[in-house]
Structure 1
Amino acid sequence: MAMTDAREKQRSVAIIGAGMSGICTAIKLKEAGITDFTIYEKASEIGGTWRENTYPGCSCDVPLHMYQFSFDMRPDWERKFVFSADIKAYLESVVDKYGLRNHIRFNSEIQSCRFDERSGRWHIGCADGSAHEADVVAAGTGQLHRPRWPGIKGEGSFEGAHWHSAEWNHEYDLKGKRVAVIGNGASAIQFVPEVAKEAREVTVFQRSASWVLPRPQREFYGWERALYKAFPWLINVQRWKIYWFGELLFRAFHTSGDKIKDMAIEEMELYVSDPEKKAKLTPDYEPGCKRVLFANDWWPAMGKDHVHVVTEGIEEICPSGIKTKDGALHEVDAIIYGTGFDTTNFLGPMEVTGLAGRELKKEWKDGAEAHYGMTVTGFPNFFLLYGPNTNLGHNSIIFMIECQANYIRQCVEKLREDDLLYMDVKPKAQALWNEKVQSDNANSVFASGCTSWYKTDAGKVTNNWANYTFKYWWWTRRPDFAEFTLRERPGKNEGDREPAGAPVAAQ
């Protein structure tokens, strides 16, 4: 057999995005001795979601024990639920600790990825006009970073200040202002209470109410941090306690949601006395159909007399405010859009072209899907992180990301060790997997009838994982290479006369 030099054995990897997913993948590759990777980051800083969202009160609603990497648990956190700036600082320190900064190419937004099946390489085009190549692409672009604007008639006509929660205007003084908030999802429940502290009047334009439970926030005692530092295994014990609680929460979504309803309504009634406002703020769908939210200051804020809730649909936005479908004009000084993100359009505006010129957008015209949420047939050596049907309503996405990073690392090792041209998930494997995923979702609360960011306009659940996360770990702990078409490099063996891309049986 002809010897393959070390350079050819090393597989170059392009990681798209320097958020949680991209950073985790880079660390796992480096641990395996794979150092020929570049992280392409569209911004000038790392952080992904936690860089983009800086609105007042922005924090994580997952306990920090489950919202840091399992391989880099820190003992010096001050509170159980941390703010976005704390997570961003953690990620910055992780990048430096694992020597990733020199691998990051900042201000490099990827516009296109095109696969060349003869060379087995991806051709990558950036918005700045530069071109790059890689054997493998790992897309960690996430689901929660492209602001979604509602497209309301007259949106551009408003003469006051207006911005999206993910593009917060920190220069605007809210003191004494009349502020309209469009939307009441995960971001709004965090920033509305902060806005209400300063604004003269806050009007929340609500399409549907949210189930909101109290968040058990607390400061850590000094002795707790000292114990965690002296005995690091203790923080892992706490992590696993929280993990299994999350798995039990998943079960609650598939049985009766009455306990969640009772808790939410009980909390609301402690602070909101107006019967009309309470009726508006009580959801008409099962808990979990939309994301269940956790906050301690939402209900106190909604109980204030200067905070109003409008449920009449918005007709249009006018120069002086918002006109609702009942003909009322609500004059305001500022409009804040808490309308979430473009979640079902995975990979956003990026153009991805695979075998025989097939376009990923066309493959996903009926809703995105991927084998284990990571690979798509016809797009070899291309992996997604936090991809279709891997979002959670009951546990930490960091757990899923670590499963995916380990899976991708093993695939890159397979390509390198067997000197393969490429690997492409088989159509049957992808179809069987997605049949199971959609069956699980059809029997879950996610498909119980409400409108949510988990689903496409046609009603297909493309975002959520409707099963236990330990099952996902079990199924992805080792790739089953029989589920892939593996292609050798032409001329790999002496006397090899097969054409480029000759198939080889999976071992």
Structure 2
Amino acid sequence: MTLAAAEPDVLVVGAGFAGLCMAIKLKEAGQDNFVVLEKADRVGGTWRENTYPGCGCDVMSLMYSFSFAPNRKWTRMYARQPEILDYIERVVRDYDLSPHIRFGAEVISYDFDETTDRWRVETRAGSVFHPRIVVAGPGPLHKPSVPAFSGREPFRGTAFHSAEWDYSVDLTGKRVAVVGTGASAVQFVPEVAKTAARVDVFQRTPHWILPKLDRPITAGEKAAFKAVPGLQKAYRHAIYWSHESLIAGFLHPRLMTVLESAARGLLRRQVHDPELRAALTPGYTIGCKRILVSSNFYPALQRENVDLVTSGISEITERGIRTEDGQVHEADVLVYGTGFAVGDRFENEHLVGRRGLTIQRAWRDGMEAYLGVAVTGFPNFFLMMGPNSGGGNQSIVFVIEAQAHYITRCLALMTKRGATRIEVRAGAQREFNRVIHRKLEGTVWNSGGCDSWYLDETGRNRAAWPGSSASYWRRLRTPDDRHFELSSLAERENDTEYRGPGVLTSGDLTVGVEVFLNGHLEPLDGLYHWYGRVAGDGVDAAKQRSRTPLFLTIGDGPEVPAALAERDPWGHYRIAGAGTPPFPLAAVEVEVPVSGAELASAE
């Protein structure tokens, strides 16, 4: 591996919309020393993973593309998965991104090295990279979520998640059990129902569904897009603002009556059986959960070979699914349309920032970031589609573009300041989250009367941005340097009097540690006061010996009294002492004051 590959300036993780947008913006900014790591053997992210029958986008295709790379080959108002994947691959070719992409490179660990201000990033294949900057764009829809139903293992049939569709299984003439009625299920159930002998659809909670105004894009429209400059852009703007106008209802739920009327109207027109219609009518405000878009799901549920099951699932049996009413629904194939793990995307990741801070410890009270892109304690690390940067009414691609722009501006700010490290200030992140969570309190996501993936297990909304996408875009135009700590490695090295190994002793306890120390001569008492932090296995044991004197020794230096104070946010202890420092005075160039008599003699 070449040095440029092992030590890129920027490492981008993920080759979906987010990662590829970041790569393009880096190239536009004149940054060419970057690498994109992709765990699979193909780009595409969500649109590579999801290939189930009927898979498509519920955002109009003219909006679901990069603003700087319009797609003039869309065939429908709502694009299907193959078209979207084809568009993504064409963008890679048009922007010559292939030389930067490393396939089969699943990241298994991130560790920040404070001595170099670089990250150590390792892949499952054993490759190691040392980038200055990491941009993580894994996307929220890449880890299938399957509920832990009792008895899943004994099921004798074939079972798979919709994002891992098993095309080796021919569903023709089969009894199919579909668990879930979310965004994926409303697309594949109508397709499965066309050939399966029997389809049982297990619904836990009904969703509000709006009609999908899908149609082919006409040859005349395509010709006009090509011939008339700005026409396709005008279409895009019209779609954007039609979506943007809905944000008032999300922020003020009482205004959602218009959307809810449209959803009730579709249900009334397509479902004539009052009992089935009642089962499909949600008991929460529209927008509380993700609003679905479909014009063929309700008709599919009324086919003779399809049955909607609303009794809760008790267990998976060898023959199918037993519901809470005691009935067993026999099945040959079980398809989980149960969505994705979109809560804490780094819950099981090895991500260690400054002073040994793990992402699990940083987010022990829930995911939290600044503007959805930066997390205090993790310098030179940026997220795409991080906490509280999404919404329920707009194309995710629009948000991705805004974030990629913001990150490149942060990198430009580092270059301007000659910084090797950029980190959001803890106070800025804390105040940002205080404000947005206060604004979220009255929104439909928080107060609409449902449980959804917008809310974590504590009921806190870690997903949504409490405003319009335009307001988020404005916030990300220019970084506020007051909210970031920018520094260079050389500056910090000069600020640290001593960093390196040491030994703590307390009675018969001896602990090898790493210490980071500073100090100063205090004129009031004439003593040298030293202080800093200490890290290492066994420090907890030393701290617990509060009644036994504690000493610190560095190299061949003196054994000096020390005191351990409170643990810092990164899990390390603060250490301090007064008098003779544990490191040589010469190393810190301390000027020892002379007496008045000595001064007179010298004169």
TM-score, normalising length: structure 2: 0.79
Number of residue pairs aligned between Structure 1 and Structure 2 = 491
| Residue identity opposite 1:15 in structure 2 | V
**Counterpart residue number, 1:3:** none
Within the alignment, does 1:282 sit opposite 2:281 as a pair?
yes
**Counterpart residue number, 2:476:** 476
Partner of 2:246: helix, strand, or coil? helix
Q: Is the 1:141–1:347 Cα contact (8 Å) retained in structure 2?
A: no
Q: Is the 1:76–1:229 Cα contact (8 Å) retained in structure 2?
A: no
| Residue identity opposite 2:320 in structure 1 | G
Per-residue deviation, residues 275-326 of structure 1 (Å, max 9, x unmatched): 2211111101000000001011111112223211111111100000101111
In structure 2, do the counterparts of structure 1 residues 395 and 463 end up closer, same or farther at CA, with 3 Å as the change threshold? same
Per-residue deviation, residues 173-208 of structure 1 (Å, max 9, x unmatched): 111111111111000000011111111111111110
**Counterpart residue number, 1:180:** 177
Structure 2: distance between partners of 1:336 and 1:275: 28
Within the alignment, does 1:393 sit opposite 2:372 as a pair?
no
**Counterpart residue number, 2:467:** 467
| Residue identity opposite 1:40 in structure 2 | L
| Residue identity opposite 1:141 in structure 2 | P
Structure 1: distance between partners of 2:465 and 2:484: 23
How far off is 1:497 after superposition? Answer: 4.4
Within the alignment, does 1:457 sit opposite 2:457 as a pair?
yes
**Counterpart residue number, 2:34:** 37
Deviates more, 1:177-186 or 1:449-458: 449-458
Q: Between Structure 1 and Structure 2, whose CA radius of gyration is higher?
A: 2
Q: Is the 2:248–2:255 Cα contact (8 Å) retained in structure 1?
A: no
Alignment of 1:93-108 (within 5 A): 93-108=90-105
Structure 2: distance between partners of 1:33 and 1:348: 34
Partner of 2:24: helix, strand, or coil? helix
Per-residue deviation, residues 28-84 of structure 1 (Å, max 9, x unmatched): 000011011100000000000000000000000111121100001122211111011
**Counterpart residue number, 2:375:** 376
Deviates more, 1:104-113 or 1:346-355: 346-355
The partner residue of 1:149 within 141, 146, 150 is 146
**Counterpart residue number, 1:272:** 271
Deviates more, 1:171-180 or 1:403-412: 171-180
Deviates more, 1:335-344 or 1:225-234: 225-234
Within the alignment, does 1:434 sit opposite 2:452 as a pair?
no
Per-residue deviation, residues 98-132 of structure 1 (Å, max 9, x unmatched): 11101001001111111011210000011112211
Within the alignment, does 1:231 sit opposite 2:234 as a pair?
no
**Counterpart residue number, 1:71:** 68
Q: Which ranges of 4 or more aligned residues in structure 1 deviate by more than 3 Å?
A: 496-502
Partner of 1:237: helix, strand, or coil? helix
TM-score, normalising length: structure 1: 0.94
How far off is 1:347 after superposition? Answer: 3.2
Structure 2: distance between partners of 1:116 and 1:415: 18
**Counterpart residue number, 2:319:** 320
Partner of 2:315: helix, strand, or coil? strand
The partner residue of 1:242 within 229, 239, 259 is 239
Structure 1: distance between partners of 2:437 and 2:319: 45
Q: Is the 1:272–1:302 Cα contact (8 Å) retained in structure 2?
A: no
Structure 1: distance between partners of 2:255 and 2:306: 32
Structure 2: distance between partners of 1:290 and 1:232: 39
Per-residue deviation, residues 427-455 of structure 1 (Å, max 9, x unmatched): 11101111122122211100123111112
**Counterpart residue number, 2:118:** 121
Partner of 2:109: helix, strand, or coil? strand
Per-residue deviation, residues 136-155 of structure 1 (Å, max 9, x unmatched): 00000110110001111111
Partner of 2:84: helix, strand, or coil? helix
Per-residue deviation, residues 225-272 of structure 1 (Å, max 9, x unmatched): 111112241111111111111111111232332222222222122232
Q: Is the 1:11–1:416 Cα contact (8 Å) retained in structure 2?
A: no
Partner of 2:382: helix, strand, or coil? strand
Structure 1: distance between partners of 2:142 and 2:347: 10
| Residue identity opposite 2:476 in structure 1 | T
Query: Greater strand percent: which structure?
Result: 2
Deviates more, 1:247-256 or 1:451-460: 247-256
| Residue identity opposite 2:317 in structure 1 | C
Structure 2: distance between partners of 1:171 and 1:227: 42
| Residue identity opposite 1:479 in structure 2 | P
Within the alignment, does 1:357 sit opposite 2:356 as a pair?
yes
Structure 1: distance between partners of 2:272 and 2:155: 33
In structure 2, do the counterparts of structure 1 residues 74 and 457 end up closer, same or farther at CA, with 3 Å as the change threshold? same
**Counterpart residue number, 2:81:** 84
Structure 2: state its 5+ residue gaps. 500-515, 518-603
Structure 2: distance between partners of 1:453 and 1:117: 36
Structure 1: state its 5+ residue gaps. 1-6, 503-507
Per-residue deviation, residues 445-490 of structure 1 (Å, max 9, x unmatched): 0012311111212211111222101110111100111100111230
**Counterpart residue number, 2:505:** none
Structure 2: distance between partners of 1:230 and 1:66: 20
Structure 2: distance between partners of 1:175 and 1:497: 72
| Residue identity opposite 2:356 in structure 1 | G
Structure 2: distance between partners of 1:399 and 1:248: 15
Structure 2: distance between partners of 1:30 and 1:290: 38
Q: Is the 2:279–2:310 Cα contact (8 Å) retained in structure 1?
A: yes
**Counterpart residue number, 2:419:** 420
How far off is 1:348 after superposition? Answer: 5.1
Within the alignment, does 1:407 sit opposite 2:402 as a pair?
no
Structure 1: distance between partners of 2:357 and 2:491: 27
| Residue identity opposite 1:177 in structure 2 | K
| Residue identity opposite 2:143 in structure 1 | R
| Residue identity opposite 1:176 in structure 2 | G
| Residue identity opposite 2:392 in structure 1 | G
Partner of 2:490: helix, strand, or coil? coil
Within the alignment, does 1:292 sit opposite 2:291 as a pair?
yes
| Residue identity opposite 1:20 in structure 2 | F
**Counterpart residue number, 2:17:** 20
Structure 1: distance between partners of 2:229 and 2:197: 48
How far off is 1:383 after superposition? Answer: 0.3
Q: Is the 1:16–1:140 Cα contact (8 Å) retained in structure 2?
A: yes
Structure 2: distance between partners of 1:213 and 1:20: 26
